[in-house]
Amino acid sequence: MAESEVPQEEKTIPFFPDHLLTEARVAVVILFIIAGIGIYALHSPVGLGDPADPMNTPAHTKSEWYFLFLYQILKYVPKSIGALLPFVAVLVLALWPFLDRKTDTKSARRNRFILATVLVAAIIALTLIGEFS
Amino acid sequence: MAQKRHRIAVGVMLLVVIVSLAVILAPKEVAAAPFDPALEAHSLSEAELALVHEAVPPAPVQDTCQHCHLSGSIEDMWTPAWRWLVFSVMGVVFVYGSYRMGSAWVTRKPWKPLTARAAEWLDERFQIIEPIRKMLSKPVPIFATRWMYCLGGITFMLLVIQAVTGVLLTMYYKPTPDEAYASIQFIENEVRFGSAIRAIHHWAANGTIIMVVAHLLRVFITGAFKPPRELNWFTGVLLFVLTLGFGFTGYLLPWDQRAFWATTVGTEIGGGIPQIGELALVFLRGGWDVTAITLSRFFALHVLVLPAIIVILLAGHFWMIRRQGIARPL
């Protein structure tokens, strides 16, 4: 069978070494970034804030940036709803393929893209509001 | 004849190794007190001796070399570079020579690398070469080499980096309120490359979160979660939650103000869950407040429980993707 008879998407390469080599290229870039972070930190370490003091509540306590949007949501909704929201969201996310069982189509894919974009934009917006308020 | 020669050579090498090990491992004599000319020439009073010692501090009792390496008190990190170079070249020559020599112990048969012999030895017993070859030569569809398919791999790589740097940090970190903060200061200021290791752990943690979310979005948008890959998506979401759990528990460990109050507020939110809120809060904090128990509990979660779970889930995640293949894009 001639090479050209195989459709483009059916073509394969062996996992080792071909595919692993493409992965290794990415890995080398990451390693360089990691090494750069390490060398930079030899001059200026990450550092620490003031030691923890349970008696002294600082004026602005902020969480890690990836939990900041959850904190921000809490400012707009009641506490119990805000506490349950992440669990419900994760549950919906985990069970999504069991709820959305139809064969995939282009329009479904576009809808998912729009949904993801809106959600990510909302999360980024909330994070930014939380960071600069 | 040749066989005998090889045996003699191997014997000599073993002898050299044993003798050098004996020399290296032999107990060292405690260094004698340094020669102090001032003390020898005159008999000084206590006060004068103190003055001398202020000008020339007495040498530390420890092995100076080891001490400086551990404490990082050699300011210029490249000072011992030439020593590293010479010793590593010698080491490479020695290891390569041993490897070549060990590879040729049976002279009737053609020369074969030691690794090939080891692989054959194992294969005779466990028949592993064929399955491994099959696993390695598994065809990967060409669409899987597109850039957006590398996000999961990057996440995995960052997790491995987290594991390695995390183990290194654990060797110096002390999970008690009295010592946690100081032990991290020790890591950053005293331990050689400690600040680099901590910075890598810190930034790679942030990178892992970003990459997990990117990977999740890619799978979600391209519809790779569709049947029959529901379970792989499910384990993926669990892995995502675990990564956040790593972030949440790891954030408390420096025991600074930011960490303490972020955890206080974070567990407070857990306390807001209807019905089980108080139980969750007490369970997370190990009491009503964030205390030493909370710290050791978060430490145990961060270095024992979560890693164990994440290894199992990752194995499942990878096994399923291997078994079912990478989802074809629409």
Nearest residue of B to residue A45, measured between CA atoms: B195
B330–A80 CB contact, under 8 Å? no
Place of tokens 């009073």: B45
Q: What is the pLDDT of residues B235-245, one digit of tens each?
A: 999 999 999 99
Whether B227 has its CB under 8 Å from any CB of chain A: the answer is: yes
Whether B144 has its CB under 8 Å from any CB of chain A: the answer is: yes
Half-sphere exposure of B88 (CA within 13 A, CB side): 6
Q: Would you state the pLDDT for residue B190?
A: 86
Question: Measured on CA atoms in the order B73, B77, B81, B87, is the torsion positive or negative?
Answer: positive
Mean pLDDT of A80-90: 91
Residue A1: helix, strand or coil by DSSP? coil
Per-residue pLDDT at B40 exceeds 60? no
**Nearest CA-CA partner of B243 in B149, B327, B152:** B152
Pick from B157, B220, B274: CB nearest A116: B220
The fraction of chain A above a pLDDT of 90, given in percent, is: 56
Q: What is the pLDDT of residues A37-82, one digit of tens each?
A: 999 998 899 999 889 988 888 887 788 899 999 989 989 998 889 8
A53–B223 CB contact, under 8 Å? no
Could you give the ipTM of this predicted complex? 0.92
Q: Give the pLDDT band of residue B126 (cuts 50, 70, 90).
A: very high
Q: What is the pLDDT of residues B55-71, one digit of tens each?
A: 776 665 555 555 565 56
Q: What is the pLDDT of residues B208-231, one digit of tens each?
A: 999 999 999 999 999 999 989 999
Nearest residue of A to residue B290, measured between CA atoms: A54
Q: Would you state the pLDDT for residue A1?
A: 41
Chain B (13-42) residues lying within 8 Å, Cβ to Cβ, of chain A: none
Residues 6+ apart with CB under 8 A from B270: A83, B277, B280, B281, B284
C-beta of residue B129 within 8 angstroms of C-beta of residue B123:
yes
Q: What is the pLDDT of residues B238-286, one digit of tens each?
A: 999 999 999 999 999 999 999 999 999 889 888 888 889 899 999 999 9
